[in-house]
């Protein structure tokens, strides 16, 4: 989680800085980065904080003098982008919980800046062999096009040959079924997985004969 938190915080501040520069009428521009260690519930994380030439940029996600993130805020930063809430609702949520004033335009810049990191994580190469892989789906309701729909997030948790657990992927579909799981397994194969010793999954009719 620490590397993911680092990417989210850094991408968030990059988005905040871009929004700041866009609204700055002076000839301001980016001026490199500075590193600082931040204590989180996942351990110490070294964050690269972007700077501007005029030194007028004040990040809201991680203020300049803040070096400790509480567990609640850690998880809030990670989960904000997956809520499906409007930018106005997210800004209000941050203000009510943490006293952070973040404009919806800044949130747009933040989410836009992290899309490439998310895509890179989703398509990253995997190990060739996993002794154990758990496959399960989490069902949740989301507001889409003005109506409430049920979605299934297909989760894959693997254990590598060194005993380390790794979240291999998250896949969203309307329902859980053998046909979609086959697509998920095909994606694992395309990302370098050649063998799974033991796969643990709920009893899905037709699943065993589908791959």
Tens digit of each residue's pLDDT (9 = 90 or more) over 27-61: 899 989 988 888 776 678 888 989 999 999 988 77
Euclidean distance between CA atoms 207 and 75, whole angstroms? 34
Region of 206 on the Ramachandran plot (φ > 0 left; ψ -120 to 50 alpha; else beta):
left
**pLDDT tens digit string along 59-72?**
877 777 776 665 44
φ, ψ for residue 7 (rounded to 5)? Answer: -65, -40
Name the DSSP class of 39. Answer: E
Please tell me whether the overall predicted TM-score, pTM, comes out greater than 0.75 for this model. Answer: no
Q: What is the rounded average pLDDT of the residues 169-183? A: 83
In whole angstroms, what is the distance from residue 44 CA to residue 37 CA? 6
């Amino acid at each position: 989680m620490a590397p993911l938190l680092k990417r989210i915080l850094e991408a968030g501040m990059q988005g905040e800085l871009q929004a700041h520069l866009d609204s700055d009428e002076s000839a301001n521009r980016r001026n490199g980065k500075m590193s600082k260690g931040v204590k989180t519930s996942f351990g110490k994380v070294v964050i690269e904080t972007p700077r501007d030439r005029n030194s007028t940029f004040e990040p809201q996600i991680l203020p300049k003098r803040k070096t400790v993130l509480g567990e609640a805020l850690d998880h809030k930063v990670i989960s904000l982008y997956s809520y499906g809430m409007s930018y106005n609702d997210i800004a209000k949520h941050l203000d009510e919980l943490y006293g952070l004033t973040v404009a919806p335009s800044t949130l747009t810049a933040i989410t836009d800046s992290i899309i490439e990191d998310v895509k890179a994580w989703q398509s990253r190469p995997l190990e060739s062999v996993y002794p154990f892989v758990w496959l399960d789906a989490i069902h949740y309701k989301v507001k889409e096009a003005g109506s409430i729909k049920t979605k299934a997030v297909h989760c894959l948790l693997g254990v590598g040959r060194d005993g380390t657990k790794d979240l291999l992927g998250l896949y969203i579909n309307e329902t859980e079924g053998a046909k979609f799981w086959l697509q998920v397994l095909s994606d694992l194969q395309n990302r370098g997985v050649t063998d799974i010793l033991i796969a643990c999954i709920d009893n899905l009719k037709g699943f065993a004969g589908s791959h």
